Amino acid sequence: MFEFTQTRLRGANDVFKKGGHVTKTMRDQVFRMFYDNRRMIKEPNNNTDSDMSNKLFDSTPLHNNMECLHQRFLSRLPFSLPFHKNTSKTKSPKYKSFLDVAVRNFIKGYLSKQPCFGLKGDEFKSYKDLMKFIYGNVSAKDIKLTKQSISNLKHRKIIFRPVLKTKETMEFTKYLKDNIPYFKEELFLKIY
């Protein structure tokens, strides 16, 4: 759900019934932001602003229904867990914020067999050092991490969730780039 305040002019019917002038009126409006895959969102190529959380983009209709079915299938992937024979019940991951997703993707990328995002895999000696590094970022102090949760991320099948470009995730990415010069932020933010 996305809520914002919309400014409109008073309608002719309202002016006729109550009198007065044509003035601006404010109202809160709620939009559902679930993408139904009937239209393709066009991102501008010349956009220099990396924070796209408060932007509205143009869209174009899809070419046929097979393209729509394909897009619907892809849109469900981040929200559904694949079946694994060793799990008794399906659990959906509980992420509290987009920053939580970004932090956990960084940990998964660091701990994977082939380190991702340009990382070497030897930047931290222990889980404690990794947690200390992450908590060095001011905005990441509210994220709950334990040695056990990091170990769980290492031993599970690694599935990267999409990292959206919001203010918090961009600050965290800048923090990573400032402290690890060879960190490839374009690969980190490319996952969508």
Per-position pLDDT tens, the chain of length 192? 455 555 667 788 888 888 888 777 776 666 555 555 577 777 777 766 667 777 777 888 888 778 888 877 777 776 666 666 666 555 555 667 788 888 888 888 888 888 888 888 888 888 888 888 888 888 888 888 888 888 888 887 777 777 778 888 888 888 888 888 888 888 877 654
Give 109: exposed, middle or buried? Use CB within 10 Å, 0-12, 13-18, 19+. Answer: buried
pLDDT of 180 reads: 87
Report the alpha-carbon distance of residue 157 to residue 100 in Å, rounded: 18
Give the pLDDT confidence score for residue 192 in this predicted structure: 46
Asked if 172 and 137 count as a contact pair (C-beta separation under 8 A), the reply is yes
Residue 9, phi then psi, degrees to nearest 5: -90, 150
Candidates 83, 133, 81; CA nearest to 107 is 133
What pTM value is reported for the model? 0.51
Return the SS3 of 64: coil
- 107: part of which helix (H) or strand (E)? helix 98-111
Nearest C-alpha neighbor of 52 from the set 170, 179, 138: 170
Distance CA 77, CA 72 (A): 9
Please state, in angstroms and rounded to a whole number, the distance separating the CA atoms of residues 122 and 134.
15
Residue 164, class by beta-carbon neighbours within 10 Å (0-12 exposed, 13-18 middle, 19+ buried)?
A: middle
Amino acid at 162: P
Q: Which two tokens stand for residue 75?
A: 């849109």
Cβ atoms of residues 57 and 43 within 8 Å: yes
